[in-house]
Structure 1
Amino acid sequence: MAGRTVVITGASDGIGAAAARELQRRGDEVVVVGRSPEKTAAVATELGAASFTADFARLDDVRTLAADLLARYPRIDVLANNAGGLMGPREETVDGHEKTFQVNHLAPFLLTLLLSDRLAESGATVIATSSVAHRLYSDFDIDDLESRRHYRPELAYGNAKLENILFTRELHKRFHDRGISSAAFHPGVVATSFSAGSRSGLRLMYRSVLNRLILPAEKGADTLVWLATTTPGVDWQSGGYYAKRKPARLKKGVDDPALAAALWDRSSAMVTR
């Protein structure tokens, strides 16, 4: 597996940086993608890796990132859609979308779509960092993707993590025959900065009640690394959701193929020019 190209978003910190370090240690060519130019460059310099900066709150940044990756890499063996976060009060991006929805779902959806031909040609694995929050906090409404009727930071985050799973399942359905395998995973309760911009109850829970249970980033990255370095169809099944290297429990209704298809179609309409 040496010599593979692995693109990791949200790799300037936390789980993404930990996964980048481990995959680079195993011989992969890691591409570090992050929002902060300084933090992204620091991780890339440490690894001797290439880096790109992109703010997922700006879809034009995602389009530029995809174009740059396509121009530079004739193969992309793994795309880890790891960037995301828990936000604060409801806010719309420059693209007119609720920020949690865009950063956690719509931007990685667009990036994957723009890279889909290259990923298919490469027989790639696409990995989404989801969360058990999809079971604990979501109240998903396909007709309120922008959270205009109901918004709380933890609710929007839970919905976005559920969308990551729906996207993973639909990506498998639409692209597995073309060569793409996909999986979503829950990293555990990990000590990262994913909630730095939020004052929600979920963030407070992470900092207090669950503090003694919080994992280091290296432990949180373990399932991502496992999915990136093992064989779909043998070690894990494409379209699945995993935690601790095993199939994990889904919220009721997430396995609805019509819901996954509807999310894909609506997301596609939102990012199509």
Structure 2
Amino acid sequence: MVGNLAGKTIVITGATSGIGATAARALVAQGATVVPVGRSPQRAAALSDELGVETLVADYARFTDVRRLAAELLDRCPVIDVLVHNAGGVVNGRQRTEDGHETTLQTNYLAPYLLQSLLHDRLAASRANVVVTSSAAHRSARIRLDDLEYDKRRYIGGLAYAAAKLADLLFSRELASRAKETGITSVAFHPGTVASDFGRDAKGFSKFIYHTRAGRRLFGVVDNDEGARPLIALAGLSDPQQVNGQYFDRLKPDAPTSKQARDADLAARLWETTADMLGLPAVS
């Protein structure tokens, strides 16, 4: 399943903590040229010192950061063999970014979509594989194309997160559907419920899951090493075409999804709607 990673360039967002950092360490050890991306300058500096690589910094709550990141990647990486969209998180309560978007949607979905679009030509030339960190939470969500930002529905942070992860899965599947034209393959995965910094600020029921022994046992919370295993495996695929468009639950392929997650027409319409939201051509 995993090929020779020597000479392969792998870009990982959300790489300065949690499963992203664990995967970056493992892939460097396997010989890949890893370009980690994180939000925290301090953590980026620490990871750079540890791995001996340059870690790039971008806050997905700012599209200016995403555009700068894309320019830095294009300048630095003549080839991008693998792009891992792993950055994301949950915020407490409805918040808006400086770009005017609901924060959970932007950081988990809109920013990766923007980065993908800005890197499209380089990724197509590289025949890249795109790995998307989704979540089993997507099965509780419902996408409404007329209300992606939860302006017309009651805002619940957990549901907003689940909807963003459903959007990520549909994004991956639409990418995969275009592989014959673009050469870019894509696969999505659920890493498990991971006891990482992701749940650090959790409240309510999420706090029970992440921060109590009973919650961690009941919901099968895993550590970063276990949560990173599917990311490492999928980033190192020798033949991504064999699993193009699939959704993995940890290392299990063709994992259960929701009806909307299997809706190819919805995936295409979401792609077009997002491009229109961001003022982008829907070509990638």
Q: Same fold (TM over 0.5)?
A: yes
Q: In 2, distance between residues paired with 1:227 and 1:91?
A: 33
Q: Secondary structure at the match of 2:119?
A: helix
Kindly report which structure 2 residues correspond to 1:130-169, keeping only aligned pairs within 5 A, or say none: 130-135=134-139, 137-148=140-151, 149-169=153-173
Number of aligned positions between the proteins: 270
Please state if 1:111 is matched with 2:107.
no
Kindly report which structure 2 residues correspond to 1:94-105, keeping only aligned pairs within 5 A, or say none: 94-105=98-109
Please state if 1:58 is matched with 2:65.
no
Kindly report which structure 2 residues correspond to 1:205-244, keeping only aligned pairs within 5 A, or say none: 205-208=209-212, 209-212=214-217, 213-230=220-237, 231-234=239-242, 237-244=243-250
- Give the drift of 1:140: 2.4
- Give the drift of 1:93: 0.4
Amino acid at match of 2:194: V
Show CA shifts across 1:6-25 (max 9, x none): 10000000000000000000
- Give the drift of 1:179: 1.4
Q: In 1, distance between residues paired with 2:161 and 2:180?
A: 27
Amino acid at match of 1:195: G
Q: In 2, distance between residues paired with 1:232 and 1:5?
A: 15
Q: In 2, distance between residues paired with 1:239 and 1:200?
A: 34
- Provide TM-score, normalisation by structure 2: 0.91
Kindly report which structure 2 residues correspond to 1:153-192, keeping only aligned pairs within 5 A, or say none: 153-192=157-196
Among 254, 267, 276, which residue is 1:260 paired with? 267
Among 80, 87, 97, which residue is 1:83 paired with? 87
- Give the drift of 1:194: 1.3
- Aligned equivalent of 1:30: 34
Identify unmatched segments of 5+ residues in structure 1: none
Q: Secondary structure at the match of 1:33?
A: strand
Q: In 2, distance between residues paired with 1:195 and 1:141?
A: 26
CA contact under 8 A between 1:154 and 1:201: conserved in structure 2? no
Please state if 1:249 is matched with 2:256.
yes
Amino acid at match of 2:187: A
Show CA shifts across 1:13-55 (max 9, x none): 0000000000000000111100000011111210111111000
**Counterparts in 2 of 1:138 and 1:186: CA distance versus 1, 3 Å:** same
Moved beyond 6 Å, runs of 4+:
none
**Counterparts in 2 of 1:176 and 1:246: CA distance versus 1, 3 Å:** farther
Q: In 2, distance between residues paired with 1:30 and 1:177?
A: 27
CA contact under 8 A between 1:33 and 1:52: conserved in structure 2? yes
**Percent identity of the aligned residues?**
48
CA RMSD of the aligned region, Å?
1.4
- Provide TM-score, normalisation by structure 1: 0.95
CA contact under 8 A between 2:202 and 2:210: conserved in structure 1? no
